[in-house]
């Protein structure tokens, strides 16, 4: 999805990539993910509990979703903002509406929660843009021996490092956006910046989001299940991440020779 924080970060870093063609390159990765997940066992939690659907609750959810997508599409098409700017603009609109509506309205609680959840990610994304600029300045003064080593790596070796080594820093509690910002500063100059590279960076985000205990996915899932974030991150997803990245390395490594 173009509105995810990872896709927005990669999109902002690689604005010249033809995203429709990049999407076509990513279809085999998507299909592999679906087929691989079909073999996963599903554990039903509290299966005896029954949930009564609420039409009012669904209407409030659709209202928030419609407001978000309406503002996002408006900023993309009418205001001609990029994906990152559109998300930031949407967050501002949500905040304005949130502060203007009466808090006794039934849907105000859902709107407030939506505005609060998006705000932290947008601020983190903007701060990581600053971090990337700082990293570029710092890495320009890195000893030539280190840059020569990275420059001497083949494209497949760089792909392997990005897919299998860089995500491990997420286990230390480093946020995926920070990992991407630093990795981009180190390796981007030695890649072509094409459609295959775009997918490699997306795969990096998938891996770090799934195994990092400080990612939004892990924290939200842990809060919902009342368990530790470690149980909803690397303990749950290490097998999937390893298998998916192995397929991505073989597939994208081959595509880099063709495209």
Half-sphere exposure for 59 (CA within 13 Å, toward CB): 5
Model pLDDT for residues 82-124, shown as the tens digit of each residue: 776 787 788 778 777 767 665 556 555 555 665 555 555 666 6
Q: How crowded is residue 109: how many other Cβ atoms within 10 Å of its Cβ?
A: 11
Contact 94, 67 (CB under 8 A): yes
Report the C-alpha gap between 106 and 97 in whole angstroms.
14
Closest residue by Cα to residue 129 from 183, 190, 178, 186: 178
The candidate with the shortest Cα–Cα distance to 8, out of 168, 133, 126, is: 126
Helices (H) and strands (E) in the chain, counts: 11, 0
**Tokens of residue 235, six digits:** 């303990």
Predicted structure pTM score: 0.69
Q: What is the largest CA-CA distance in the chain?
A: 64
Report pLDDT digits (tens) over 173-202.
887 888 888 888 889 889 988 999 999 999
Whether pLDDT at 162 is above 60: yes
H helices within the chain, ranges in order? Answer: 5-13, 19-38, 55-77, 83-100, 108-139, 144-151, 155-160, 176-187, 195-211, 216-225, 234-258
Contact 2, 198 (CB under 8 A): no
Burial of residue 97, with CB atoms counted within 10 A of its CB: 0-12 exposed, 13-18 middle, 19 or more buried: middle
**Exposure of 63 in the CB half-sphere (CA atoms within 13 A):** 17
Q: Which residue has the tokens 């080594």?
A: 165
The string of pLDDT tens digits covering residues 200-254 is 999 999 999 889 888 877 877 887 788 888 888 888 888 899 999 999 999 999 9
């Amino acid at each position: 999805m173009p509105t995810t924080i990872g896709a927005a970060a990669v999109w902002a870093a690689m604005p010249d990539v033809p995203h429709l063609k990049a999407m076509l390159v990513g279809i085999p990765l998507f299909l592999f993910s679906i087929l691989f997940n079909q073999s996963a066992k599903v554990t039903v939690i509290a299966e005896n509990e029954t949930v009564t659907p609420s039409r009012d609750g669904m209407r409030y959810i659709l209202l928030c979703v419609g407001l978000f997508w309406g503002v996002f599409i408006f900023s993309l098409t009418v205001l001609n903002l990029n994906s990152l700017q559109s998300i930031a603009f949407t967050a501002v609109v949500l905040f304005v509406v949130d502060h203007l509506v009466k808090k006794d309205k039934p849907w105000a609680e859902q709107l407030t929660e939506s505005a609060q959840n998006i705000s932290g990610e947008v601020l983190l994304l903007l701060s990581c843009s600053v971090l990337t600029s700082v990293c570029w300045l710092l890495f320009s003064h890195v000893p030539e021996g280190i840059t020569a080593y990275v420059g001497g790596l083949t494209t497949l070796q760089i792909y392997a490092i990005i897919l299998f080594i860089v995500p491990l820093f997420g286990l230390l509690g480093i946020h995926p956006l920070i990992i991407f910002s630093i990795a981009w500063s180190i390796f981007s100059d030695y890649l072509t910046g094409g459609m295959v590279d775009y997918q490699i960076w997306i795969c990096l985000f998938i891996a770090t989001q799934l195994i990092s205990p400080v990612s939004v996915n892990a924290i939200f899932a842990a809060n919902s299940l009342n368990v530790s974030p470690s149980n909803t991150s690397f303990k749950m997803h290490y097998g999937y991440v390893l298998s998916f990245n192995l397929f991505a390395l073989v597939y994208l490594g081959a595509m880099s020779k063709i495209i």
